[in-house]
Structure 1
Amino acid sequence: MRTESGSAGMLVVAALIALVWANSPWSESYVDLWHTELAIRFGDGGLTMDLHHWINDGLMVVFFFVIGLEVRKEFAIGELTDRSRVVVPLVAGITGMLVPAAIFLALNPSGEQAAGWGAVIGTDTAFLLGVMALVGPAVSTQLRIFLLTLTVIDDIVAVSVIGIVYSDGLSLGALGVAALCLVVLVVLDRFAVWQAAPYVLVVLVLWVATLESGVHASIAGMVSGLLVPALDPRRVDVEEAARTFRAFRQSPMPGVQRTARRSLTRAISVNERLQEALHTPTSHVVVPLFALANAGVDLRDGVLGDALASRLMWGIVLGLVVGKALGIFVGAFASVRLGWGRLPQGVGLGHTLAGGALSGIGFTVSLLIISLAFESTRLQDQARVGVLLAAVLASLAGWAAFRFSARFLGQTDAALPRTLSQPVDPARDHVVGPVDAELTLVEYLDYECPFCARVSGVGDELRAHFGDRLRYVTRHLPLPVHPHSELAALASEAASLQGRFWEMHAVLFAHQDELELEDLVGYAAEIGLDVERFMRDLDDDDVHRHVAHDVASAEESGVRGTPTFFIGDTRHIGPHDARSLIVALEQQGVGRPIG
């Protein structure tokens, strides 16, 4: 149930149920159900909408809120923190919307049908990823990242189109209240409010104000999600959580339990906590319920024939199936050839064609826009048939493109490399243990990374277990998010020139919150280095080249974070505590060392 393919499966089942129900002898009950009115009253005021609008204008706001949360996290601490990685998917995302819209408008240049152009610009991310899990490569992590980055742009534009183009009868007073809510969210972010309740209350008020303003509420969900802060766990909060948990273990009383729970909650950003709480109900309840309410097209009495003969339906089908694949592929190809950026490591142009084809599954966003773009039931039915047909054809086109890429282009997967690109070289690498040991453990580390500090003694534990059967090797990967990590890496290499690498290594981890230049000079004196030589060596070209070489080898080996371990020449996937690494090393068995 937690897999993307499972979520996509539920979406398909809900759509099929809607189609069967709408074409059954009980089709009137399907229509009547969604026209059932529901009201929430507070004294003389309240909200009254039919069930269909509660789903489209209410529950779907939660869906777009989760998308906004995911986008904020990606820009704050995820893949999009490196802006250079955004260029290719940004260009591909834009062309992947312009080309479908152009194809649709070429077939429907005027009249009421032209209003449906927005139905071909969006992609159903959940459906896309679910189908890719079924028909794509066995390992497609990098392609998934590329497509998620692309759909970030897609979602922002699609929701903006919904909120601006398909809104009418604007109320300035309600818009003022909505704007004030956005200001409050910014203030909560600025003052680092970590409790979820204030954000949720403001978002609820924002949703009601947006409903009353005449702007479609989906934009409220997306924008409010973008304003909920996402942060990496701070070391001080993690340590405080650990301290209070130990206190509860020693004294399991209600007051201590509340304190421990509060500190554990605070250690994780409110953005990630809300995602964790909402992702499953959104994927497995909200989106399937939306499909059930919107995919039920009564194809009887000539509706299907009417749709197949309409330019509106074919504009949607060709826009989604041909336009998305062509637009995304051309955008990615052009931006790479022009040198604007590069595809993620492990992703080929064949993958972009296949991913672009799957992006033609517009489903959720397309159906929502159709319900807003057309008042005529006839046009809505024609457009919905086009969206459903496009979802089937896009899935088949993606499957065919993946098979073509694997067979003729050799692009069998879309994952990061898992093999150590640069073999261990005892002449330059820092090695503990016999250089010809039968087992090898390589660690890429960052001296300012708290997780590296937590496992900094793992090499000693493993050496105690394996003895001379194991050699432990360290390499540098100072991460951009840690401002002092590169200087610390240079300090360790400068100490190495005086034969004190491991002494400096231990001191840096012991004081990873104090890595300013004056601190490093003090550590150099503490471990008995010639301080003047140490200062000169910090600027030595060979020292800088050593760190740069390690960083380049990490990139080539598919390393994206620290700590990352290689068992032999294969990247270790999974926990990196001593016990897990011992099991992985024992599974490797007796082998020849690398290098």
Structure 2
Amino acid sequence: MEKKDANFQPWERAFGRIATPLEDFIHDETASGIILIVCTVIALFLANSFLLHHYEHILHTEIAFSLGQWELRHTLHHWINDGLMTLFFFVVGLEIKREVIVGELSSFSAALMPIIAAIGGMVVPALLFFAINSGGEGESGWGVPMATDIAFAVGVLVLLGSRVPKTVLTFLVALAIVDDLGAVVVIALFYTDQIHTNWLMLVTVMLVALIIINRIGIRKPWPYFVIGTLMWFSMLQSGVHATLAGVITALTIPVRPKFEHKLFVGHMTKLLGSLKARPADTKSTECIIRDGHTRAVLQTLENGIHSVESPLQRLEHNMHLPVAFIIIPLFALANAGIPIELSALPQTVSHPVALGVMFGLVVGKLLGIAGLTWLAIKLGLGKLPEGMNTKHLIGVGFIGGIGFTMSIFIAELGFAGQAENLLMAKTGVLFASLIAGMVGFLWLFFTTNKQYSTE
């Protein structure tokens, strides 16, 4: 469509010159990682400046929702971690379901190597952490170094551009999806408070309701969100971590569209033909407003597009930006504020919890991901994707050590009520993620100088 055929508002062209570069940045694959880094730096500044008191005051401000005698009251920090992060886990659930049904995890042969790599990348870091902290107060944090932050990890690979083949990125994403699934299971089984069975029974009822509306063919998102919200509240009261409601709800979102592609194309071709046959109105700004037939055709086209789209992929697409650019940055602002005293840094990084996290993420991830995958290949269980070699695998092992979001989230659960250990764990996550990201980037940059096609 030519720009000369468009109708512009008086200031629209000028605003477009500002908005277009911003839109390009938002849709760039590295943008979410950059925003996350900026928010982390801001949180660290706030926690280590004269603004610390105000920062803590804001995080501990209570926000309540009430209806008559009923009230739900929590701090802002709690609302972010247990409320907004549910939407993050919802997107994680959508990604897991998509990968299992149509993605890299849909066939056993393609999924085997990423699954083995992910298992190694979870088990070895946890064992290293436990070995360092066994018998101490910090041993409950063994799940902290198991996680990989998919946004940061993918961002590092994207920065390498054509130096790394697309198959490496695909392998890392599949690995991170399995890793997320493992983290969800760990949270559900090992980081759950006392269980209240009455509320858990309500969670089961909500799950059955979600399955029923899926099976009867409801594809609009709002019924799932309503029931999912009720499930979140029930799970919050049950003792099971409430964010798991996001994953469970996501797994019930329909994948199949209402209409098949062939039927859609035929129907839309007829509609576009009838639209094209209409006589053109010279007053183009008034054409849609005056012509009821055109409006009806356009509405039918819109409904048809929704009917041929996968509800799961549409939701994943719509939720990506708010989660990546609002929820995760807010999580970083609320949780990455770690007071750091340079004079006490040697004592901090040598603390068993911080040491366990750093060894787990930097060394354990490398040994687990690269080591177990290499062993599986030697045993003849599978092979690396086309274009991916051992150097790439080692790089993925390093980059997999970027824990950040999920690691901090698990630390908040594992060290609830243990302020010192929580601080040590967060410090370990921060330093380990920085080291793993830098080493992984430099390793791939200097060992893989071949330029691969980005197509």
Q: TM-score, normalised by structure 1?
A: 0.66
Q: How do residues 388-427 of structure 1 correspond to structure 2 at under 5 angstroms?
A: 388-406=430-448, 412=450
User: Which is higher, the Rg of structure 1 or of structure 2?
Assistant: 1
For 1:404 and 1:60, the matched residues in 2 are separated by: 37
Alignment partner, residue 260 of structure 2: 234
Q: How do residues 8-87 of structure 1 correspond to structure 2 at under 5 angstroms?
A: 8-87=33-112
1:278 aligns with 2:324: no
CA 63–33 in structure 1, closer or farther in 2 if over 3 Å, else same: same
1:309 aligns with 2:350: yes
Q: How do residues 435-514 of structure 1 correspond to structure 2 at under 5 angstroms?
A: none
The residue identity in structure 1 corresponding to 2:190 is V
Q: How do residues 247-286 of structure 1 correspond to structure 2 at under 5 angstroms?
A: 250=278, 252-286=293-327
The residue identity in structure 2 corresponding to 1:234 is E
* Cα deviation digits, residues 205-256 of structure 1 (max 9, x gap): 1211111111112222122212212237722244434544555665645444
* Cα deviation digits, residues 499-532 of structure 1 (max 9, x gap): xxxxxxxxxxxxxxxxxxxxxxxxxxxxxxxxxx
**Distance apart, 1:403 and its partner CA:** 3.2
* Cα deviation digits, residues 394-429 of structure 1 (max 9, x gap): 01220232135325xxxx35668xxxxxxxxxxxxx
For 1:95 and 1:415, the matched residues in 2 are separated by: 30
The residue identity in structure 2 corresponding to 1:304 is L
Specify which structure has the higher proportion of helix.
2
For 2:298 and 2:28, the matched residues in 1 are separated by: 33
Aligned residues: 413
For 2:230 and 2:70, the matched residues in 1 are separated by: 14
CA 413–41 in structure 1, closer or farther in 2 if over 3 Å, else same: farther
CA 242–47 in structure 1, closer or farther in 2 if over 3 Å, else same: farther
Alignment partner, residue 223 of structure 1: 248
3-state DSSP of counterpart to 2:448: helix
Structure 2: stretches of 5+ with no match in the other structure:
1-25, 279-291
For 1:332 and 1:192, the matched residues in 2 are separated by: 41
Alignment partner, residue 321 of structure 1: 362
- Asked if the contact 2:163–2:448 (Cα under 8 Å) also holds between the matched residues in 1, the reply is no
1:103 aligns with 2:128: yes
Q: Which of the residues 376, 384, 396 maps onto 2:418?
A: 376
1:124 aligns with 2:149: yes
1:150 aligns with 2:175: yes
- Aligned identity (percent) is 35
**Distance apart, 1:344 and its partner CA:** 1.4
For 1:238 and 1:45, the matched residues in 2 are separated by: 51
For 2:237 and 2:268, the matched residues in 1 are separated by: 43
Q: CA RMSD in A?
A: 2.1
CA 239–334 in structure 1, closer or farther in 2 if over 3 Å, else same: farther
Alignment partner, residue 22 of structure 2: none
- Asked if the contact 1:85–1:342 (Cα under 8 Å) also holds between the matched residues in 2, the reply is no
For 2:264 and 2:226, the matched residues in 1 are separated by: 25
* Cα deviation digits, residues 100-153 of structure 1 (max 9, x gap): 111111111122200111100011101111122124654532111111111121
Alignment partner, residue 355 of structure 1: 396
For 1:377 and 1:302, the matched residues in 2 are separated by: 20
The residue identity in structure 2 corresponding to 1:310 is H
For 2:229 and 2:395, the matched residues in 1 are separated by: 39
Greater relative contact order structure (CA < 8 Å, 6+ sep): 2
CA 65–112 in structure 1, closer or farther in 2 if over 3 Å, else same: same
3-state DSSP of counterpart to 1:396: helix
Alignment partner, residue 21 of structure 2: none
The residue identity in structure 2 corresponding to 1:96 is G
3-state DSSP of counterpart to 2:72: strand
For 2:155 and 2:315, the matched residues in 1 are separated by: 22
- Asked if the contact 1:169–1:214 (Cα under 8 Å) also holds between the matched residues in 2, the reply is yes
3-state DSSP of counterpart to 1:39: strand
CA 388–301 in structure 1, closer or farther in 2 if over 3 Å, else same: closer
For 1:198 and 1:278, the matched residues in 2 are separated by: 16
Q: TM-score, normalised by structure 2?
A: 0.86
3-state DSSP of counterpart to 1:282: helix
3-state DSSP of counterpart to 2:30: helix
Structure 1: stretches of 5+ with no match in the other structure:
417-572, 574-595
Q: Which of the residues 213, 217, 224 maps onto 1:192?
A: 217
